[in-house]
Structure 1
Amino acid sequence: MAAVTLKDVAERAGVSIKTVSNVVRNAPRVSDATRTRVLAAVGELGYRPNPSARRLRTGRSGLIALAVPDLGTPYFAELAHHVGREASSRGFTVLIEETRGDAREELRLATGVGASLLDGVILSPLRVSSADLAPVADEFPLVLLGERDYGSGQVVADHVLIDNVAAAREVTAHLAALGHTRIGAIGVDEQRSATSRQRLEGFQQALHEAGLTYDPRLAARVGEFDRPNGLAAMRTLLELPTAARPDAVFCFSDLLAVGARRALYEAGLDVPGDVALAGVDGSGEALYATPSLTSVVPDKAVISALAVDCLAARIGAEGPLPYEVRIAPHRLEVRESTDGVRRPLPG
């Protein structure tokens, strides 16, 4: 049985082949009525796009990948949702890859090795460094997400991120403004990731600006930014002598804060009455926690739009383009875990 073609679909729907192509790629500027008619013809005929054939015709497959460390983390799951919507509006299909923070897997995806049908990759690296990427930076369309590690000053790829130093400084300053004097931090990364370093830097800056002394005993180390590590780290902080314990804690992720909250509950301590708590990521889990968690909220929709725009420009470029570093906005959402003011959830 011969494969169904774009021409077959166009004839069934009574439109041009170009219109069918636009609908299949989910391109904009197609009326709802036309889109509905074309999709009905696609379903009736059983048409399936052939990425290999498309690549032969155009040199592109229309496939891109989003590679993140852990899809079980709410932040990355929400980010994948936004990237998928942005990519679809530009005619791309997104494949999701989970790297588990393995440097070899991150480097493989960043260079397009083993991904012959991919036009480009949006990568949120956890372990691979700019030094690792520098030798292969021009070989494959790539956009990096998250914190950058440019100790040498060399920008090796397009990069979309929030200002993590500023974000950490803002949330720590908020805790200090509430009158807390022994502010702890959970998230000093044993692997010394750029995320951890930058958030620790902002934390220390805010303490200095508030006239407070940085106490290394209150900076708890973690292996991962997850709930179990938050639980263990807070338990460690609570083992300090009573006078040395923190009266507020800034966690470097919402998941760490959720784990820390459990440790405080086990110890019979009130949040924020005994210990105020704040995080980073703006996840739905933070909003629905009890009490709701004060959090730095990166604008994930803007991050995704900037990343897809950068990748699309690089895929479509006929020559080399200068690398761009794009800063996405963030905001501090003050909730019950720091100011104690009860708020009804939206909706």
Structure 2
Amino acid sequence: MSAASPHPFESLTPQLVVEAVESLGFWLPGEPFALNSYENRVYSLTDEDRRRWVVKFYRPERWSDAQILEEHAFLGELTAASVAVGAPWADAAGTTLHHYEGFRFTLFAHVVGQAPELENPAHLFALGELIGQVHAVAVRQPFLHRPRFDIAARVEQCRERVLQARWLDKRQRESYAKVTHALLPLLEANAWPASALQRVHGDCHLGNMLGRDESFALVDFDDCAMAPAIQDLWMLLTAQSPEEWQMQLSEVIEGYETYCEFDRRQLAWIEPLRTLRLMRHSAWLTARWEDPAFPRAFPYVADSAYWDQHIRTLEQQRVALDSPRWLA
């Protein structure tokens, strides 16, 4: 896309959003409310019967129809197994992926609730149970079209993307190249075998887990992939002391093992996954910069201080890969 070409999402006006949803047979008396989403465009809306919905417009050219429909099929399996997830609405023909004016979109029932508290043992146990329920269904069959977590390939893609970014000066570019070159053999030495890959949600951060009390639902499977089970668990472990970390781990795993056995050898893959997430985030920001929403939301990416901090963080990850925290 040339700099002079408008981004496809620029034409996604509130009126078009309403028209798209109403093309499915709904009537919307009010305006859609834009939610905090950048990869796709996501809106909250209410129909004439006061039912609340979330509509997602997929980023053009990111996923194929087959990849999106595989995500929807997984959500259908989970719903059939009574797992609390944000499942897609289907029309009378069973269609979940809809098209309007060149956009692909899906409608989801609104999930009510707040993010969990990761300092609360009961919440951690409940989240472990929820992810265990998801994985008990996930291991029944693999994804055929969704991405696979190949750490070497993903790191190399991120590395190339960042090294092409225009904001790094010569010193930063050299430092980034040096630290990522040093990280790659450490990541490969701690890589998971292909046999450890299974279907996962892929992005289990707090914003994708909603509920009340000790009952939560998992939403937004847009990043579902084939990855180790620990990918859906490690972001729940946020403590900064060994005692608190072990408490979090104990509650999460105890809840998880209500439904699924957990191989504790996967704990050794936390730091590689953390490193990959850090690298992917910066690469993602540079890859999406032509989308006007990104310079507005992430102006600091164009600041030299951001890249200095990112390089320092990767240096810290090199140390962490050599001596993972609190796994004894």
Name the TM-score, length of structure 1 as normaliser.
Answer: 0.26
Name the TM-score, length of structure 2 as normaliser.
Answer: 0.27
